[in-house]
Structure 1
Amino acid sequence: MKGKVSDEEWKIRVDLAAAYRLIAFFGWDDLVFTHLSARVPGPDHHFLLNPYNLMFEEVTASSLVKVGMDGNPVQETPFMTNAAGFTIHSALHMAREDAQAVIHLHTPHGQAVSAHRDGLLPLTQAAMLIREDVAYHDYEGLAVDLDERARIIADIGDKGAMLLRNHGTLAIGETIGEAFIRIYFLERACQAQILALSAGDNINHPPQGSPEVTAQQGRIGLKLAAGMLAWPALLRKAYRLDPDFAT
């Protein structure tokens, strides 16, 4: 695929394939059933989605499928795509200009918090960094009904992350790195919450006002982590794990 697409698209393909490999490394994949996407520059509103029959550790920059807003591939490909993935991702790519990248996961901890009545609680620093940027969307069954897109957009509003109730986690970003760092903090917060609640009732709650202060710090820190710190380091890690993703 390299040489057949623009340099800008190729870079996005490499970053998105790296994100797939890193999701697998962290153990956040769910066989072939979750999805990451990234918008392709241009007026046609195309975006890249994973081949449905590949494990995340098999995804490469060239194997990513470019689809249009009708859900159909715009280039010849031997792969199929996930209908539910198309519904969720196309909704966000169409409605949010800042949704250049979208990550949706089904981790056990993310699903557990999504099923908790009170959602994400301000119990840890990770939760306080992300919590005010988290929206909620009620479960409607497998996301194959295109009418659900309007409700997803209404529910997420201007937030950068979402708990899909009884389903999992979601994050968007102006770059793939930003979406990845946002989902990282959300997943870590969910994991810590389940561990804390499982330890009993003796939970130390943060002092009044500190969650709001931490949320403001998080809005600034996430951009820095995605642009200059953690995402560049994660890309180096992806190359060390297996540089094949960039082919």
Structure 2
Amino acid sequence: MATAAADKPQISEAEWEARQQLAACYRVFDMLGWSEMIYNHITLKVPGEDGAFLINPFGLHFSEVKASNLVKIDIDGNKLDDSPYPVNRAGFVQHALFHRHLPDAHCIMHTHTTAGMAVSSVEGGLRPTNFYACNFAGQIAYHDFEGVTVRDEEGERLLMNLGDKRVMLLRNHGILVMGRTLPEAFIKHWSLQRACEIQVATASMGTPLLVADEVVAVHQRDLHMAQVPGGAGAADFAAMVRLVDRTDRSWRE
């Protein structure tokens, strides 16, 4: 995916690769129907730069994001480049909090998908009633809705409720996932979104069947045997980028 950044002398090769990967991810999210007007966020740490990360320019649709128009900011929200675009405080507050305190949160994704918001808005949240939901049994944190996330003081409660987990359903709000790599975060989001979609569909049909705890344990134990080599989500994400490239390669710019 990487290309030489010769025409971007102020940007390191590592940063340009990160910019392209993140821009591609925004286009993949849009292709999959996960855009929410000009809102929601995916952030990615800049390799080799402590406390610096990339975020989407506030005001652009996911389909308009390119490698060159992503905004580089520090952990305090200060812009580190000459981007003409602002940053949505509702995105910065939450993402900066986790980037600051969680060294393994290299990539963070937050969306308001219909299925994700629906499941986060019912008692019990995600239930082990389908294949994908079983992936997450015992691994999801929950945080009660406190209004739009623009207040720094909510951060302590977000961290406390997250604990040692890296997947969270923000109650009445939506999906939040983190990964050690962008592809890892992507496959978590994709799987959680599928789990939520299927739960919503199942709920309309009658009483769902709960998978027994011992079966969930076997399922989670054996999941790695169904993964393609190359790292969590790497092959999945690459396949989605190829689909995006069939119609629009402008994200690379």
Instruction: Tell me the TM-score normalized by structure 2.
Output: 0.91
Aligned counterpart in structure 2 of residue 150 of structure 1, from 152, 156, 162: 156
Give the gaps of 5 or more residues in structure 2.
1-6
C-alpha deviations, 1:49-87, integer Å up to 9, x for none?
100110000000110000111112111111011101001
**Do the aligned residues in 2 keep the contact of 1:129 with 1:219 (CA within 8 Å)?**
no
* Residues 184 and 234 in structure 2, CA contact (< 8 A), matched pair in contact too: no
Bigger shift: 232-241 or 89-98?
232-241
Q: Which runs of 5+ in 1 are unaligned?
A: none
**Alignment match, 1:170:** 176
Higher mean C-alpha displacement, 30-39 vs 203-212: 203-212
Name the CA distance, whole Å, in 1 between partners of 2:149 and 2:91.
8
1:111-151 per-position Cα deviation (integer Å, ceiling 9, x unaligned): 11101110100010100012332111111111000111222
Is the contact made by 2:27 and 2:62 (CA closer than 8 Å) also made in structure 1?
Answer: yes
List aligned pairs for 1:1-247, cutoff 5 A: 2-201=8-207, 203-218=208-223, 224=229, 226=232, 228-247=234-253
Could you tell me how far apart the structure 2 residues matched to 1:242 and 1:221 are? 31
Displacement of 1:183 in angstroms is 0.4
Q: 2:113–2:174: 8 Å Cα contact kept in structure 1?
A: yes
- The change in CA–CA distance for 1:76 and 1:66 in structure 2 (over 3 A counts) is same
Looking at structure 2, the residues matched to 112 and 129 of structure 1 have their Cα atoms a distance apart, in angstroms, of: 19
CA distance in 1, matches of 2:10, 2:102: 28
Q: Give, in angstroms, the shift of residue 223 of structure 1.
A: 8.5
Shift of 1:219: 6.3
Does the Cα contact within 8 Å between 2:56 and 2:70 map onto a contact in 1?
A: yes
Structure 2 counterpart of 1:16, one-letter code: L
Could you tell me how far apart the structure 2 residues matched to 1:153 and 1:222 are?
Answer: 30
3-state SS, counterpart of residue 146 of structure 2 = coil
Question: Counterpart of 1:120 in 2: which secondary structure?
Answer: coil
CA contact (8 A) 1:130 1:218 kept: no
Equivalent-residue separation in structure 2 for 1:172 and 1:218 (angstroms): 19
Q: 1:106 to 1:79 in 2, by over 3 A?
A: same
Is the contact made by 2:187 and 2:233 (CA closer than 8 Å) also made in structure 1? no
Q: Percent identity?
A: 38
Secondary structure of the residue aligned to 1:226 is: coil
Farther-moved stretch of structure 1 (67-76 vs 220-229): 220-229
The one-character-per-residue Cα deviations of 1:84-126 (angstroms, maximum 9, x if unpaired) are: 1001100111111110000000011101110111010001010
Q: What is the distance in 1 between the residues matched to 2:227 and 2:87?
A: 30
Bigger Cα displacement from structure 2, 125-134 vs 60-69? 125-134
State the alpha-carbon separation in 2 of the partners of residues 70 and 44 from structure 1: 12
Tell me the distance in 1 between the aligned counterparts of 2:212 and 2:244: 39
